[in-house]
Amino acid sequence: MGAEPFQRIRVSVDARVATLTLNRPEKRNALDARTIAELASAIASSDADPAVRVMLLRGEGKDFCAGADLEQLERIAAGASRAENVADAMALGGLFIAMRNASKPIIAAVHGHALAGGAGLATAADLIVAAETAVFGYPEIHLGFVPAMVTALLRRSIGEKATFERIVLGDRFSAADAARMGLVCRVLPVATFEAGALAFAREVAGRSADAVALCKQLLYGIEGLSFEDAIRRGAEVNARARESEDCLAGVRAFLAKRGAT
């Protein structure tokens, strides 16, 4: 992937997994404009890298990401214009869209705290694995604020009523609670969390890259379609999958094995 022009994040690639690490532990990996821009750039580069099949997003230090940087909050307090506020919000919104549109899966590995925009960043990933002591929360309501863009992601992940409860109460919740509501797919022991998260990413990377990309495209592409149109879209993806080298090789190997028994 070449030399890294990054100051806020680190990127490394090993065994088909690109690990993207938020690297502001002294700021609890808070999101500022530069961090957001660097992360968007790293995701685009990783998505285009043929050596990468999965992206693993993590935070350095004791927390995954504690939310917005203090400078952003100071801009809000100063009373920016509507246009300035929209542009500022869409910097993070654009990152969420880029994560959704990336062809390769993004797994958030959450430890410590994932709060406000940090919880939003994790929610924007395709999958979340969490340390058993991880804490999530969308606490913007306590500032008279709204986790507005995150709502579009959270509603799709856990449903309307559960989303409304989380964003209106703004309380913190555990990794176990996040798993029960379907937000987190794996809760891992703290002592082996980093190794466990990487092992899970490598497991996903071991699946057919073509099939995984089609799964992601289909899952998000049927949003808003009628049942009939979703079935038709599925048939189109089914046909594309049948034509892929991975599928042809897999089916032929299966048939050969069955024929040998």
pLDDT digits (tens, 9 = 90+) for 178-203: 999 999 999 999 999 999 999 999 99
Contact at 8 Å (CB) between 212 and 53?
Answer: yes
The answer to whether residues 62 and 160 belong to one domain is yes
Domain boundary among 181, 205, 229: 205
- The confidence score (pLDDT) of residue 78 equals 74
Residues 148 and 182 in one domain: yes
Q: Is residue 3 part of a domain?
A: no
CA-to-CA separations, 196 to 37, 110, 219, in angstroms, rounded: 28, 12, 26
Token pair, residue 223, equals: 């949003």
- Annotated catalytic residue: which of 140, 165, 194, 223? 140
Tell me, what's the pLDDT at 2? 45
> Could you give the number of structural domains in the chain?
2
Same domain? 237 vs 220: yes
> Tokens representing 171?
């309380």
Q: What is the pLDDT of residue 12?
A: 97
**Residue 219 falls inside a structural domain:** yes
Q: Is the pLDDT of residue 20 over 60?
A: yes
In a domain, 235, yes or no: yes
* Residue 1 pLDDT grade (very low, low, confident, very high; cuts 50, 70, 90): very low
Q: What pTM did the predictor assign?
A: 0.93
- For the question of residue 140 being annotated catalytic, the response is yes
Q: For residue 62, is it within any domain? A: yes
Strands 135-137, 172-174: parallel, antiparallel or unpaired by DSSP?
A: antiparallel
- For residue 3, pLDDT over 70 is answered with no
Judged against a pLDDT cut of 80, whether residue 259 lies above it is answered with: no
192 and 218 part of one domain: no
Q: Is the pLDDT of residue 75 over 80?
A: no
In terms of residue numbers, what domain contains 97? 9-205
122-133: pLDDT as tens digits: 999 999 999 999
